[in-house]
Chains A and B, each alone.
Chain A
Amino acid sequence: MTAANHKLRNFKDALMQIVALLCAIIVVTPLVLIFYHLIKLGFSSINWAFFTQLPGPVGEPGGGMGNAIVGTFILLGQAAVIGVPVGVLGGVFLAEYGSPKSSGWIRFAADILNGVPSIVWGLVVYGLVVVPMHGFSALAGGVVLGLMMVPLVMRTTEEVLHLVPAGYREAALALGVSKWKTVLQIVVRTALKGIATGVLLAIARVAGETAPLLFTALGNNIWARSLTQPIAALPLQIFNYAMSPYDEWHRQAWAAALVLLLLVLFINIGVRFLTRDRWKAKI
């Protein structure tokens, strides 16, 4: 190996390190920029009116997104009612009762579901709920978000349960505790934090979904009165306002985007903070 060759190799090495660093910086930049712009453009519009008032007349200043915020929570509540029990119990089956073959097939099906584009889910629930009900509704919106949560929560629950050491199950069974009590009160209890994390992340994920709501919840400009009527939701409202020609609505859309982003990021950062011990090991 000659000195020149040595120098060239070292140069390439240093160059590649710089390139990798630059790429990492480029990758992070959009997040920083988005935050910056959302705060710059939206922060000033966040006021009491924003959270409590209904949208004003088209294009006129004033009004808020109170109904959209409430609507999002109503939809998420319904989604959790569907997604959490089915997802968690299904995950329990996969981890604790399923034979390798049957669990394999169920897991495969769940992974397929996780790959279905969200707008296709919207089409499906349109046919399933909106058509029979002869109209768009909050119920349809809750159903589509809930169904989307099921395979997500199922897989994360299963993964977390697998992490519980076999020794705990054995010890409980050796004490003469029946299997279902062992699973519920020992295994699930040990993994509870992880399961809750999975559920929260799934909720954060569906909270930001717009596409499936386009054909189910549709959106609304009044306070939600019943589950069988269309309902407003933050992402929907952002979309409609953003694509409108009115500056006033753009202003509010920035505020809404900031609120939605903060909500989603808050949940994401929050769960990471709560499970930081497990997280630390994964560098």
Chain B
Amino acid sequence: MTSAIINRETMEQTPITTALAVRNLSVFFGANEVLKKVSLDIVPRAVTAIIGPSGCGKSTFLRALNRMHELNPEARMTGEIRLFGDDIYARAVEPVIVRRRVGMVFQKSNPFPTMTISENVTVGLRLNGVRDKRLLAERTEQSLRMAALWDEVKDRLNTAAISLSGGQQQRLCIARALAVQPEVLLMDEPASALDQLATSKIEDLILDLKKKYTIVIVTHNMQQAARASDFTAFFYLGELVEFGTTTKIFTSPSQKRTEDYVTGRFG
């Protein structure tokens, strides 16, 4: 499925080849300019990795994509971000709507402790009014399968979510995010708190998910970026230094700073 803009009068279809079009995005925390005029295009149904040393603005960039900065009263942004053509920061658009289209998985897995596994998966749907039990059950299985967790938990869907291991909890959080059927999935260092085995499971999962979803992943692990992503954006001190296919960035980057970073000379 490709997305397109359809002109109602002429029924002409203009394919959109950008999932998220970011133009001159700047984010300020108080007087501090944390992201400086970033522009890039996130390609649909591909994995884009955001890399850079700590403090370069990777997470800030990610959070701008689903309007999470609005939780912080000191944050301000300028610029434009279009999600499949729709301006997500338009005055008429509520953050709640944006976040249903752009999901997020966090660094530290955080399944809701008072809920069971299945309740966690469907919480996004239920809180938005979905009551149909059949639909919820279907969505639960679908999401858990996509998160490569179904086989491990299918017999204990009604047990507490916090009884799962760390890696399983993170995959549960992925299932939870997928259950509301977002168009884009943002992942903020999703495997950094996990061991090697769990990490590789998550990476396999990402490669599988990109068949259906657009994924943007922040990572400080360059090998992970090289392994799992199609495109890579390198940030440094709040600026987008270079953006291109992963192969290019890691083998023949155009910028010296990029080259220094990926060859490990700093960061």
Contacts and interface: CB of A to CB of B under 8 A. Distances in A.
A and B: interacting chains: yes
Contacts of B73: 99
Contacts of B97: 176
B66 interface: yes
A171 interface: yes
Given A99-B73, A170-B68, A170-B71, A175 B123 contact: yes
A176 B114 CA distance: 19
Contacts of B103: 174-175
Contacts of A99: 73
Given A174-B66, A174-B68, A176-B97, A189 B114 contact: yes
A132 interface: no
B127 A177 contact: yes
Interface of A: 99, 165, 167-178, 181, 185-186, 189-190, 192
A185 B104 contact: no
Interface string B102-136: 01101010101110000000011001100000000
B147 interface: no
Given A167-B106, A170-B106, A171-B173, A176 B112 contact: no
Contact of B96 (A168, A176, A189): A176
B67 to A, nearest CB: 9
Minimum-distance CB pairs A-B, first 4: A176-B100, A175-B124, A167-B110, A176-B99
Main SS of the interface on chain A?
A: helix
A196 B237 CA distance: 47
Contact of B110 (A171, A176, A178, A181): A171
B113 A175 contact: no
Contacts of A192: 114
Contacts of A167: 106, 108, 110
The residue in A165, A172, A176, A185 that gathers the most chain B C-beta atoms within 10 A of its C-beta is: A176
B177 interface: yes
Nearest to A174: B104
B123 A172 contact: yes
Given A174-B103, A177-B96, 13 more contacts: A167-B106, A167-B108, A168-B113, A170-B110, A171-B110, A172-B127, A173-B71, A175-B100, A175-B124, A175-B127, A176-B101, A181-B127, A192-B114
